[in-house]
Amino acid sequence: MYASSGYGYGLPKAVKYLLISNVAVFIVTSVLPVVFGVYFPFNRLFGLIPDYITHHFMIWQFFTYMYLHGGLAHIGFNLFALWMFGTELEYNWGARDFFKFYTVCGIGGGVLVWLVSFTSFGDPYISTIGASGAIFGLLVAYGLMWPDRLILLFGILPMKALHFVIIFAAIDLYYAVTGTGGNVAYFAHIGGGLTGFIYLKYGWRIMIQFENLSRRLKRRKFTVIDGGKGRSNSHDELYKDMDDEVNRILDKISKSGIESLDDRERRILERASKRGGKM
């Protein structure tokens, strides 16, 4: 795969540290058993095993499983996709929001694998590992934000990003339901992509609403002792105008999705989010 914009950027902070952490974990889990003859049950403790989560409450596996990989091809494909699609997303969102989105998608993929284990489509005793759930969330985000961006599949076949995501989602769903796709966690892909879609459509609005509630609660902790002259009316009006604009943008996201926002509206959301975190 090749995205037409993927090579035009350097390496942003969150993508860089995700690459480093995944490679470091892969080296540790590969070198210890082979070179030093030290066996450690990495996959049993940190891979996602639904039975362990259900009966032993090992809920950290929802997070740790996405940093384990089963071979060079496995980790190579995932990290290549992380770099190719994640770089531009991080430059648009910032490191903190990008890492949050990546992690939420990975956890969403793991949750779906766990839920499916209670049905005939899943196996509660199989360990799921890999960042594919989080990666598929990035693919969905890329397809929604730049639907007409051309991707060269296998470096040959040009395809619009949104069509690329839809085709891959359909293939994953087919293999997941039929069980004919081999030893691949297709439900993790589907869960990560679905989580990413829901997060982009509704997550920003929910996040801003929680931050607005947090600001209101913090304001109630202070008592005005100077007759209300400590803060100017213009300052309050500025915040009110900004909140009104944020609400308008959130309504637009609910109707048309986050990909419909222009650069100015994205900057307003980012400023509103930072204002909520610093007050």
CA atoms within 13 A on the CB side of 3: 27
Q: Is 189 a catalytic residue?
A: yes
Residues in the chain: 279
Per the CB < 8 A criterion, the answer to whether 201 and 259 are in contact is: no
Q: What is the DSSP letter of 128?
A: B
For tokens 């902790």, the residue is: 221
Q: Is 132 a catalytic residue?
A: yes
Q: Which of 5, 117, 127, 189 is catalytic?
A: 189
Residues 6+ apart with CB under 8 A from 89: 98, 101, 138, 141, 142, 145
Q: Calculate helix-pair angle for 186-198, 132-145, nearest 10 degrees.
A: 40
Q: Which of 132, 214, 256, 260 is catalytic?
A: 132
Torsion of CA 16, 17, 23, 28, to 10 degrees: 160
Per the CB < 8 A criterion, the answer to whether 21 and 103 are in contact is: no
List the beta bridge partners of residue 48: 128
Per the CB < 8 A criterion, the answer to whether 194 and 139 are in contact is: no
What CA–CA distances, in Å, run from 95 to 5, 15, 71, 79, 265? 19, 8, 28, 17, 19
Q: What is the 3-state secondary structure (H, E, C) of 146-202?
A: CCCCEEEECCCEEEEHHHHHHHHHHHHHHHHHHCCCCCCCHHHHHHHHHHHHHHHHH
Task: Please give the positions annotated as active site.
Answer: 132, 189
